Amino acid sequence: MITIYGIKNCDTMKKALKWLTDADIEYRFHDYKKDGVPTQELDNWLNELGWEALINRRGTTWRKLDEAVREGMDTQNARKVILDNPSIVKRPLLDTGDERILGFKADDYEARLK
């Protein structure tokens, strides 16, 4: 079963969820705001994708971080920041079981999921 991680009211999430529904692809939605960030999965994502890919450095959550925190970012610090600020994770994060896909591009989903 595909799991899509994110925040329900995010516009990009809405597009991804609509695409999955329209494509008749079953999925489970994990809302960071309601369910938190799953720590075991987070550790796997950090190892597989790296904090640089996982953290959205263009969003307001990143900009609100103290400059010293941003400049000292590494995997260990990223883990703590993500657990404290789930909104900082790029959205959506789609886990097919075989791969993790960050962000949403319809063409990319089409190529990988159909």
* Numbers of helices and strands, H then E, in the chain: 8, 4
Distance CA(19)–CA(94), nearest Å, equals 12
Active site residues: 10
Contacts of 74 (CB under 8 A, 6+ apart): 51
Is the Cβ–Cβ distance between 54 and 32 less than 8 Å? no
With CA atoms as reference, report the closest residue to 27 among 47, 54, 2, 44. Answer: 2
Token pair in block for residue 5: 């991680």
